[in-house]
Amino acid sequence: MTRTVDLERREELLERVSAYVAEHGLAGLSLRPLAEAVGSSPRTLLYHFGSKEAMVTAVLRAVRARQLAVFDRLRRTEVSTPGAICRAAWTYMSDPAIGPMLRLFFETYSLALRDPDRFPGFLERAVEDWLAFLAEPLLAQGESPERARVVATIVLAGYRGFMLDFVATADVKRIGAALDAWVDALDALTHQKGLRRAQ
């Protein structure tokens, strides 16, 4: 008779595993030290997740769910421009407690560039989720989908650069000042109706 996975226990383990992976990364991830750190055993982890790869996939889904929750939180702030979104996101992302998740994101991004099949759909979601979110306020203001996507691409590229700098240096003051100056320029750009549209 097949045993039924205890979903509550699985969620509890997933939370612990996610915290461990965020702190220690994916490179060299081994079940035995992971299991010991989360108060479990390799056999129990495999029982609840099926395989190491499936467990990593579950962790990345949990991280994405947190990102989508951030999107919802930012939407509730009623930000009306990509620049305002960046300032609100910076306030959240510059919290030191978020650092491990940011490092995990960039590590996974790098690994997925080398081996996209290992992380199916990760690269696409990492771009498209943010582009759709950043384009929302522009579309609401009547911008065309093409222009909204162009501006969203500019915003995403710049903001990711600031985040990569932040996880590398943790220099909140310098990066915060640079982001403010960049957002001022960005706000001016979003009001330029003459921006060349994507072909």
- Rg of the chain over all Cα atoms, to the nearest angstrom: 19
Terminal CA-CA length for the chain: 59
pLDDT at 38: 94
Residue 29's nearest CA partner among 55, 66, 67 is: 55
| Crossing angle of helices 145-169 and 99-114, rounded to 10° | 110
Q: Which are the contacts of 71, defined by CB distance < 8 A and separation ≥ 6?
A: 129, 133
pLDDT at 189: 67
Question: What's the CA gap between 150 and 146, in Å, rounded?
Answer: 6
Q: In the chain, what are the domains?
A: 7-190 (1.10.357.10)
pLDDT at 199: 41
CB under 8 Å, gap of 24 or more: what pairs does 28-33 form?
Answer: 29/56
pLDDT at 188: 75
pLDDT at 42: 93
pLDDT at 175: 96
Residue type, 45: L
pLDDT at 197: 44
Digitized pLDDT (tens) for each residue of the chain, 199 residues in all: 445 567 888 999 999 999 999 999 998 899 999 999 999 999 999 999 999 999 999 999 998 888 888 888 877 776 677 888 888 889 888 888 888 989 999 999 999 999 999 898 999 999 999 999 889 888 988 899 999 999 899 999 999 999 999 999 999 999 999 999 999 888 776 665 544 444 4
